[in-house]
Amino acid sequence: MNFPRYLKERFFRPRNARILSEAAARLPERVAAAPTYLQVEATNRCNLRCVMCPIEDLTRARRKKRLSVEEFAHILNEFPYIESLHLQGIGEPLTNPHIAELVACAKTRGIGTGVITNGTVLDREAGEALIRAGLSNAIVSLDSADADNYQAIRKGADFQEVTDNIRKFVLLRQDLDSPTPSIGIMMVAMNNNVHELREMVRLANDLGVDFLTVKGLNPAVAPGLELNPSQQQANETLGLLADPALRPGFQVQLAYLERSPVVRCRWPWTRAYVTAEGDVTPCCNCPDARQVSFGNLFDRPMREIWNNEAYRAFRRELRDGMPDVCRHCPDWHQPM
């Protein structure tokens, strides 16, 4: 028996989880436990230029960076109790040539991994490497069921190629007889595509994926594209889930309709976001280290960052008011 590991799993991990859950309820400035969820940018570059994406603004001043396996392992060493993570941020994770090795690196530590990809480079080789590495879930962003509208939104992508990639990826998982990853499609609901919601449900169902999830847009990063309340209301009456033609088990998650007026964001208390350069920022909705950075993991350990003055001040502000960067955040009232 590996005794230190036994102690960690038997005593320290449950203790960490208990303290974290208390922190999520009480929202203290100082959190005496480590995050259990992490989002790490595999790269800060992307091969597309989607209309709702601030990637140009966010990366112009940043040097091009892809995480190496060694850097990723270093980051994981700083977070002893991570249970799941997304290799995800600003940038297309599958353009990091080491992406499957990063997944495998997390998997050997018992950490579940997910990616959200634009699907453009999800060919057979990339798909097989990810499945064999043990990827837990894969979500392909597909914001329209109409080729012209899709290509107007996802500039640089080819609708036929991406939908073919999705269909083949689902079949590949079956060919390899692998239960993982779960495969889904994510639609960012905006005023230029929300009328296609019903078609999106049918397309996702036809492509064979496990689920379609529909997310809201952060209006701060793409003003003018957000939904208005009447558009949201109209969608609630669509009766999408009652469509008898859907495959059994196929799920539709309308996350953008499920806002609670009482549950606040808990990111800075329970989760962390790390950029490809190693900066720790509050969350995936604030990935710009120039706006908020609590410290850099390649300069100092997480134990010196997690409760430093900047982190504590941000928690205080989020608990008692509204930091500027959170003002238009779609996750402000989402259950975490």
Cβ-based nearer residue to ligand SF4, 240 or 272? 272
Query: What is the C-alpha to C-alpha distance for residues 239 and 224, in angstroms, rounded to an integer?
Result: 27
Identity of the residue, 243 or 317, whose beta carbon is nearer to ligand SF4 in the bound complex: 317
Q: Taking the C-alpha atoms of 123, 46, 212 and 115 in order, what is their torsion angle to the nearest 10 degrees?
A: 70
Q: Which of 72, 81, 256, 267 binds ligand SF4 (CB under 6 A)?
A: 267
Residues 9-48 that bind ligand SF4 (CB under 6 A): 46, 48
Which spans in the chain are helix H? Answer: 3-7, 13-26, 55-59, 69-77, 99-107, 124-133, 147-153, 159-175, 197-207, 229-236, 267-270, 302-305, 309-320
Per CB under 6 A, does 93 bind ligand SF4? no
As measured in angstroms, the least distance from the Cβ of 73 to ligand SF4 is: 24
Nearest to 332 by CA among 287, 283, 265: 265
Find the binder of ligand SF4 among 23, 31, 53, 194 (CB under 6 A): 53
Q: How far is the CB of 293 from ligand SF4 (least distance, A)?
A: 13
Count of residues near ligand SF4 by CB under 6 A: 23
Using the rule CB under 6 A, is 282 a contact of ligand SF4?
A: yes
Residues 301-330 that bind ligand SF4 (CB under 6 A): 318, 325-326, 329
Contact 228, 191 (CB under 8 A): yes
Residue with tokens 């690196």: 105
Q: Exposure of 78 by Cβ count < 10 A (0-12 exposed, 13-18 middle, 19+ buried)?
A: buried
Are 128 and 94 in contact by the 8 Å Cβ rule? The answer is no
Residue partners of 257: CB distance under 8 A and separation at least 6: 232, 235, 236
Least distance to ligand SF4, CB of residue 267, Å:
4
274 binds ligand SF4 (CB under 6 A): no
**Near ligand SF4 in 106-165, by CB under 6 A:** 118
Burial of 152 (0-12, 13-18, 19+ CB in 10 A): middle
Shortest Å distance, C-beta 230 to ligand SF4? 24
Residue 255 Cβ, how far from ligand SF4 at the closest point, in Å?
Answer: 13
Closest distance between ligand SF4 and the C-beta of residue 62, in Å?
Answer: 13
Candidates 104, 130, 272, 283; binder of ligand SF4 (CB under 6 A) is 283
**Cβ atoms < 10 Å from Cβ of 3:** 7
Binding residues for ligand SF4, rule: CB under 6 A, are: 46, 48-50, 53, 55, 90-92, 118, 265, 267-268, 282-283, 285-286, 318, 325-326, 329, 331-332
